[in-house]
Amino acid sequence: MVDRARLRQHAVEVLTVIAVAACYYATARLGLLQQLVRGQVTPLWPPTGIAVAALLVFGVRIWPGIALGALAANITIGPSLVPVLIIAAGNTVAPVCSYLLLRRAGFRDGLDRLRDALALVFLGALAGMLISATVGTGALVVSGALPAEEFWPTWSVWWTGDAMGVMVVTPFLLVVRNARLPYGISPARWAEAVALGACTLGITLLATDTSASLLFLVSPFLVWAAFRFERAGAAACALAVSTLAILAAGRMTGPFAHHSLLTNMITLQAFNGTTALTALLLAAVVTERSRTYREIKRLCTQLSEKVTRQDL
């Protein structure tokens, strides 16, 4: 019985590793549809978000799945075996380091505290993804697949893409994992959610389709999402807004037209970083406030019951 239970546990772990590798590879193919440099550097790399989320959920033992997915995604686009192995190693080490940094900072998967949102953005995304961008771009330059003068523009796109994957994909996956079926939701609440989604998409499409600087118009809808729908609304809206902005940057349209690649990546990083920070931080603050209110209400109820019993 013990051996059978152990075999079952090993089988589950192997299947989990394979599932993570498959998800990594599938989302990598989607991310490569927006490649900007050498067919393999993209402003949105969803696999990093999946990798960090998988590590947070299953632990560091899931790293072989990340390595297999990264190797499968990169081996089809080259340039040659040795650089591919180095790039895959960088793509594996970066999310593992992000995971270790987050755990060191006391990160909680529920994203229900302000410190969790700050840690995910600054430690998980911006700091951890420096590794994959530096290793990957360096491997391309050393192998001769990329001119040395293209290092920094390519590095900026690589870092932006990996960081955006963590900023917008990881929170969404963590929220979906902790989500419960919305029983007892009023029709008015559903109508508000639909209105929020439609308005957010409409304003973002408008802001990313015109050359005028209208990206700031998205902010009120992120505030709306965070205050009214907390983490679920904030994560979904941030993912939608960031994805549309990245698509516009990839097409070099709207506010991203007539600028260099490096300038567009700086603009995109600033906008998506602000979007993620606004949504996640506000949602965390609102969640903390709601939790504090419920705790105070519970204590008041207990105190009232004790006073009533004493009077009797």
| pLDDT tens digits, one per residue of 246-284 | 888 777 888 888 877 777 777 877 888 888 888 888 988
pTM of the model: 0.86
pLDDT at 284: 86
Question: DSSP class of residue 145?
Answer: S
Please check whether residue 56 is in contact with residue 174, taking contact to mean a CB–CB distance below 8 angstroms: yes
| pLDDT tens digits, one per residue of 165-183 | 898 899 999 988 877 766 7
| Inter-helix orientation angle 46-58/63-75, to 10° | 160
**CA 307 from centroid of its chain's CA atoms:** 49
Rounded CA separation 171/169 (Å): 6
What burial class does residue 281 get, using C-beta atoms within 10 Å of its C-beta: 0-12 exposed, 13-18 middle, 19+ buried? middle
Q: Who contacts 77 (Cβ-Cβ below 8 Å, separation ≥6)?
A: 32, 39, 40
At 279 the three-state DSSP class reads helix
Please check whether residue 166 is in contact with residue 98, taking contact to mean a CB–CB distance below 8 angstroms: yes
Instruction: Please give the torsion angle defined by the CA atoms of residues 131, 135, 141 and 142, in that order, rounded to the nearest 10 degrees.
Output: 150
Rounded CA separation 51/62 (Å): 9
pLDDT at 119: 92
> Tens-of-pLDDT digits for all 312 residues of the chain?
557 777 888 888 899 999 999 999 999 888 777 665 555 567 778 999 999 999 999 999 999 999 999 999 988 876 788 999 999 999 999 999 999 999 999 999 888 888 898 899 899 998 999 999 999 999 999 988 888 888 888 888 888 889 888 988 999 999 888 777 667 778 888 899 999 999 999 999 998 888 777 888 899 999 999 989 888 889 999 999 988 888 887 778 888 888 777 777 778 778 888 888 888 889 888 888 888 888 888 888 888 888 777 765
| pLDDT tens digits, one per residue of 135-173 | 999 999 998 888 888 888 888 888 888 988 898 899 999
Please check whether residue 75 is in contact with residue 31, taking contact to mean a CB–CB distance below 8 angstroms: no
Tokens representing 14 are 């192997």
